[in-house]
Amino acid sequence: MTTQHQPSSRTYTPPQIPSRPAGALTLGLSATSTRDLHEAIGRGLPTQAIKAFAETLQLTLQRMLELLDLNEGTYHANRRQGGVIKSGLVNRHLIDMARATEAARSYFGDLPAAQRWLTTPSATFDGKTPLEYARYPGGTEYVTTILARLEHGVYT
């Protein structure tokens, strides 16, 4: 006796693919793919992205520059000379912090709650804020892992 497979009455809805790579939207970048984002990093991200990101998180420009390890004089010189950040390391830190911000916003559902969480020191992050931790190698992945654990009810 063979059993015939009956088609399911449910329809498959594929997951939505983000229109921009993680971090791009938060920084106001037009990159539509990871490749575009890497090319933008290579060219240098706009200094305006740092200022806008600081405002989004309700941080002073000075605090954002501290988080990025970017001297204020260097920032202003870059702004005057083409308006782009020339340091690849600073650009990567900026993208990583923006990715962590997007992950927190997704988990908490709104920016004010995400901002509070990102800027509050925690033992989970060795007494640092999640935003500070996100700038270290592997830090963004750790921050997003913590958010995923919280989402699944795993206390960390």
pLDDT tens-digit map of 116-155: 999 999 999 999 999 999 988 899 999 999 999 998 888 7
Residue type (1 letter), 50:
I
Question: Rounded to 5 degrees, what are φ and ψ at 50?
Answer: -65, -45
pLDDT at 139: 92
pTM of the model: 0.80
Token pair of 115, please? 């901002």
User: Per residue in 83-102, pLDDT tens?
Assistant: 999 899 999 999 999 999 99
What Cα–Cα distance (Å) separates residue 145 from each residue in 25, 86, 94, 138? 21, 30, 19, 11
* Mean local confidence (pLDDT), 43-66: 95
Distance CA 103, CA 77 (A): 32
